Structure 1
């Protein structure tokens, strides 16, 4: 019985485990930087005139989620590596590693506790548009996407989802909190650099058969609020 249980578990793990190639192509053009009319002009970043970036690499993924737009139970974990080289059409030579880990635990039939840890690490001659970005509708809600950017990024967020509320068949809500930081070098990431965000959200069940909600989130930060209306959960 013990051997059979281990075999079933191994087959289940292998079924949800994926390894495959990864390709990333980005082309930035028509860029303009406005220098201050008074005071010392700032140094223009690498790639300020535009750039082409073609990355080739590999991604390792474990994913047993049943519904990526509204996960009620499961685990998602990804580790990827991309290399950008002049020899295959990139303007600059640089590399990057990204990891994304998400855990979803049901509290009861309606409520879910979701947790994400995310990191992005770049090195080499990284153009400004390819640096790690902190903020947006997916993580660190309340800051606009790219409010903070640098070579290295770490962030985490925790969210409690009530989908739906006990008194309604279609209306639900969430509360969430997040923290993150960026730095030019990995060794320079520390707690003092972290910025924080928290917020609440409303949910409306648009497609009951597919268990997909329309989300309306308000993220609060030290710089003010941010509002988002999107189909599907943030992570």
Structure 2
């Protein structure tokens, strides 16, 4: 399976010079499933490479690309990339996305009722490159970038919550701003880490001076840690905590969403919506020796709220679940994953490629 879908663009150059990293272009048909999209069908690709002159001290750069059409009549084009220059002097990372997305909405706040369910359709263009330079210590980077997030051709249900309450930017918005970022990334593998830390902090300012339709700021962090707990089977214990906080005239589509295929699995994405989000999860990743197969078990908790003073540990909602893994590339540890997540009163299946975090 690996050889069938994997191509080597610089294979001849590597045959002449064994110090060059053998780049890989992994191309395959993609079948995915999540409660937000139903089944999705399309093409996925990952370009794994190093710049000439990079050795073992430089980790493999990852440029994924996917296009899918779903049974919910959505199309999704996405790339989330992380590129290391020679000797990791710079990291270039970010997201590019173009999609039309029917989304279910239940009302604002952590106590919205499921009976309020309505559909909200929109198109989205997202471009977010960040350029980070190595500073002070190995694995520590600092830099800046910009973020452009355009929501257009929106369609809301007549006399529904959105049509009645009309929150800021419900009928479309343009977020254009500059971001400052700090990154610490000591993971040994970007696609499926066995050890190391990852911490990213970004602070973005969006203003009409930059072309934004609303004036607000957005703060985000993502903290992860990976522990190799079994030398025999390379079993991994993985931790993640994320936060997302917005202030000002925050447009509707920049509010924080509770639930996704990556964190708080078991809740539909956007089941609860508010200005801020705090969430965490722990995952045990089991690898069966001399096999491409693996399994995971995970548990997590999180909440959305309007202000820091509203956050209470007693209000946390929990999730748990398990899943299976099939490794399509042993060298890069790239997995196909199938997860079954359970929330409070809900459970969903997720099928995709690469780990949740």
TM-score norm. by structure 1 comes to 0.89
C-alpha separation between the residues in 2 aligned to 1:142 and 1:88? 38
Shift of 1:26: 0.7
C-alpha separation between the residues in 1 aligned to 2:299 and 2:195? 20
On the 8 A contact 1:70/1:232 being kept in 2, the answer is yes
The CA deviation string for residues 88-130 of structure 1, in whole angstroms up to 9 with x for no partner, is: 1000000011111101011013211101111111000001100
Shift of 1:13: 7.2
Match of 1:79 in 2: 201
Q: 1:141 aligns with which of 250, 261, 265?
A: 265
Q: Which runs of 5+ in 1 are unaligned?
A: 1-10
Shift of 1:165: 1.9
Shift of 1:68: 1.6
Q: 2:324 aligns with which of 180, 194, 202?
A: 202
Match of 2:240 in 1: 116
The CA deviation string for residues 146-176 of structure 1, in whole angstroms up to 9 with x for no partner, is: 22221111000000000x224x511110000
Matched, 1:15 2:138: yes
SS of residue in 1 equivalent to 2:253:
helix
Q: Which runs of 5+ in 2 are unaligned?
A: 1-133
Match of 2:185 in 1: 63
Shift of 1:191: 1.9
- Paired residues in the alignment total 221
CA RMSD of aligned residues (A): 1.9
More strand, by proportion: 2
Match of 2:170 in 1: 48
Match of 1:8 in 2: none
C-alpha separation between the residues in 2 aligned to 1:93 and 1:74? 37
C-alpha separation between the residues in 1 aligned to 2:348 and 2:177? 32
Match of 2:296 in 1: 174
Shift of 1:15: 2.1
C-alpha separation between the residues in 2 aligned to 1:58 and 1:185? 23
Shift of 1:223: 2.9
TM-score norm. by structure 2 comes to 0.59
C-alpha separation between the residues in 2 aligned to 1:27 and 1:45? 17
On the 8 A contact 1:28/1:50 being kept in 2, the answer is yes
On the 8 A contact 1:32/1:48 being kept in 2, the answer is no
Matched, 1:33 2:153: no
C-alpha separation between the residues in 1 aligned to 2:210 and 2:135? 38
Q: Which runs of 4+ in 1 moved over 4 A?
A: none
On the 8 A contact 1:121/1:186 being kept in 2, the answer is no
Match of 2:127 in 1: none
C-alpha separation between the residues in 2 aligned to 1:207 and 1:181? 36
SS of residue in 1 equivalent to 2:156:
coil
Q: 1:128 aligns with which of 241, 252, 276?
A: 252
CA shift in 2, pair 1:13/1:101, >3 Å: farther
C-alpha separation between the residues in 2 aligned to 1:89 and 1:67? 38
Shift of 1:12: 11
On the 8 A contact 2:339/2:350 being kept in 1, the answer is yes
CA shift in 2, pair 1:213/1:13, >3 Å: farther
